[in-house]
Structure 1
């Protein structure tokens, strides 16, 4: 990211000796992100700073004088990559400015024949979404609603926020909605255009109107994955929404502060098997949390007999891992080595037990670290409430939690709201009353019954 320090003028630059020749170095945002300059204007600016004529630049770069003139005048708007590299080398500019030229060279390609624009992320998913039918429908409706232009999906790390956002974005994209996914990641096929959006949105000095070439008059969805308010001020997003009435912003975050003017969508773990209920393999496969483990078993050990013992062990694993998708997926992959019963024995001794760290090429899910970070982010009141109810086995109501934590019901309700957004507790369905329960992994981390790693 490139930022413009305050008090620096466009003329604040100097030439320094580096590697045997002068290298252009600037001490402010001279690369043009903040001014929305396109390739021709940016090339002319760098050439003037270097003190070169068009002919001299052509001679140094081996690019024809006609090409230099056509580029600077805008008659040629899409230079080849090799041309950009030759010009940058001849100008002897530093890496940030090379990137600026490369990005500027791609901007004209974003315009359609009608002079408008659409940037559509090529989204991909490696596996189907397990469960989440109700959440998918509700989140899709929120994103499409003009009254809810900023939606934040919150929850514990590993609960599937990114996966759900990806599914919503994919479905909307198929219906003609433009999608911009930032930051660039493996979840979306990205290129220099995506990098341009990523840099511009996070650059407080950048002119957001540069996105005119990316956001057209149709509906556009901007997904900001793993949102961090400290690195991306909320005011920046609000400016975007003000500039583009057809834009909707979808955030995924492990926690949200009251200053964020977003519709909050807390994502809970997957549905768990019922306790004290006897399942057969087919019946257990209908439960979302169990289906995630059983899908992996089908891949790793298709000949494993899911008898009564194995089915009971899988159901117990789901309870022990709280229906947290990332934890269930990791446990399911371990069935290549362990039987469900063996896995249950290991995790019963230590719910944060890990083995075969990324041996199969998949990222490691460190449940202990995720839980610890979520707990450490709590304020004193919410932490006191969580510590008090974690010592209580079973479900509890607002009034009961207030008594346990020695708080007023109002303060307890606020604390429960915070814990739900962080994903540290879950709602327990009960007719006409609200009950809650601390996640098993969270209770283990607090009581010290297992070592969080």
Structure 2
């Protein structure tokens, strides 16, 4: 699924002027400033051309840019043709696409700069065209997608953003999205009428997938014609936030990517799609200092928790004692953003030392956000759903890990607890990592893992009655774990490599 736009390829003659200039510039490794120096054109003019804002450049400007890019006769002709198309009204489409921006986040990005930089570069360059960000509910998948989309939009990509019905949003939609209806139609087209599952297919969590990639799409399942006309060969990003991979139709996506060579697709989901070419991006909670390490206000989880504390208790000053309490709570809750936000909300009814005591004795009680009951329900249902979707062998392993002595474990411990071979244990650990049930660490100089405290707390105290979308979790298994019917309890499918 790694298909980029080649400035010298067959699509050059029909590419937009800005796409051509940017493609040639990136191909030879020039920044906008370096191209400006070589061509004697201002950086602003080059930026406007690449973004499609300058629709009627002078012939001399194009000649200077072509000289700076060292283009041959064929590539120069393509630039001139793109300018002529713009003069005949082609620029109106690009002005329309320029307004296609991602939603505005309501909170700053904390501790995810490295992940956002990697995702943005992979998608911008075309090295990856299909990326799925997975992680436990509330870990920050949407916030990372917002930052990635914003970076691509700044680079000139129109962003088509679709939030799945029922997904929890933490952003403000654009005031005027000219392609909102087309984005909605595209998302509906990719879902298809019903998931088409081959017998025996399974995701990393043992559930079926709608990715019937062995069956070609029927001829009448064409992408929305209006979307194809609007995007053409322009670079663009489609974000499906809160996607349900089991409902997505891979043949339709394949056709869409073939028809739109500049399109990239970014999914946020609880589980992988498990289709060819999928780049799986595992999102762990924020880093938090260990209790035996000095408390650091700049640790991502501590910064996040301090920010939420300021919203409810601005009188709490992060002195040495309070900072130690904040760092301890951040580590105890594994740096999980939604759990930290819920814990901070309790400071309206208690002080920081009391909050620390509750986290130590009964953390499950703090996972309901006092100011927003939906957040607590969202977290509980998300964790229950993740546990229910695990294969039976992985659920049993989680139960044993929750009752084993100590928080950290390694592969040797998994082999000892299960009696299985090392490859089987490695696959089980990977399944738990993909589900976000455990997080990795190297605090002891070796690769270790630990079950998230959120998972431990909610697994030990399941809610009465079935959670949303997990009706089969009514009974309990090992260590209070939800039980569900597993079509192949012993199989743990290995998804596409991250």
Provide the residue aligned with 1:136 in structure 2. 116
Q: Deviations over 1:354-389 (max 9, x none)?
A: 488563698446433322111111012322332233
Deviation at 1:285, TM superposition (A): 1.4
Are positions 1:113 and 2:91 aligned together?
A: yes
Provide the residue aligned with 2:181 in structure 1. 195
Are positions 1:339 and 2:374 aligned together?
A: no
**Secondary structure of 1:388 counterpart:** helix
The whole-number CA distance in structure 1 between the counterparts of 2:238 and 2:316 is 44
**Secondary structure of 1:268 counterpart:** coil
Provide the residue aligned with 2:386 in structure 1. 374
Choose which of 146, 158, 177 in structure 2 pairs with 1:178: 158
Is the 2:411–2:422 contact (alpha carbons within 8 Å) kept by the matching residues of 1? yes
- CA-based RMSD of the aligned residues comes to 2.7
Would the alpha carbon gap of residues 114 and 275 (structure 1) be closer, same or farther in structure 2, given more than 3 Å must change? Answer: same
Would the alpha carbon gap of residues 431 and 202 (structure 1) be closer, same or farther in structure 2, given more than 3 Å must change? Answer: same
Deviation at 1:336, TM superposition (A): 3.0
Larger RCO of the pair (alpha carbons < 8 Å, separation 6+): 2
Are positions 1:157 and 2:157 aligned together?
A: no
Q: TM-score, normalised by structure 2?
A: 0.62
Is the 1:150–1:250 contact (alpha carbons within 8 Å) kept by the matching residues of 2? yes
The whole-number CA distance in structure 2 between the counterparts of 1:344 and 1:432 is 28
Are positions 1:350 and 2:362 aligned together?
A: yes
Deviation at 1:238, TM superposition (A): 2.1
Is the 1:142–1:151 contact (alpha carbons within 8 Å) kept by the matching residues of 2? no
Provide the residue aligned with 1:239 in structure 2. 255
Choose which of 303, 311, 321 in structure 2 pairs with 1:299: 311
**Secondary structure of 1:113 counterpart:** helix
Specify the structure having the higher radius of gyration (Cα). Answer: 1
Are positions 1:127 and 2:107 aligned together?
A: yes
The whole-number CA distance in structure 1 between the counterparts of 2:363 and 2:325 is 14
Deviation at 1:216, TM superposition (A): 3.5
Provide the residue aligned with 2:342 in structure 1. 330
Would the alpha carbon gap of residues 151 and 175 (structure 1) be closer, same or farther in structure 2, given more than 3 Å must change? Answer: same
Deviation at 1:159, TM superposition (A): 0.4
Q: Deviations over 1:433-453 (max 9, x none)?
A: 42211112222334x2x4558
Deviation at 1:400, TM superposition (A): 2.4
**Secondary structure of 1:208 counterpart:** coil
**Secondary structure of 1:437 counterpart:** strand
Choose which of 284, 291, 294 in structure 2 pairs with 1:275: 291
Matches within 5 A, 1:15-94: none
Would the alpha carbon gap of residues 389 and 127 (structure 1) be closer, same or farther in structure 2, given more than 3 Å must change? Answer: same
Unaligned runs of 5+ in 2: 1-88, 193-219, 465-498
Choose which of 274, 278, 281 in structure 2 pairs with 1:265: 281
Is the 1:158–1:365 contact (alpha carbons within 8 Å) kept by the matching residues of 2? no
Is the 1:180–1:222 contact (alpha carbons within 8 Å) kept by the matching residues of 2? yes
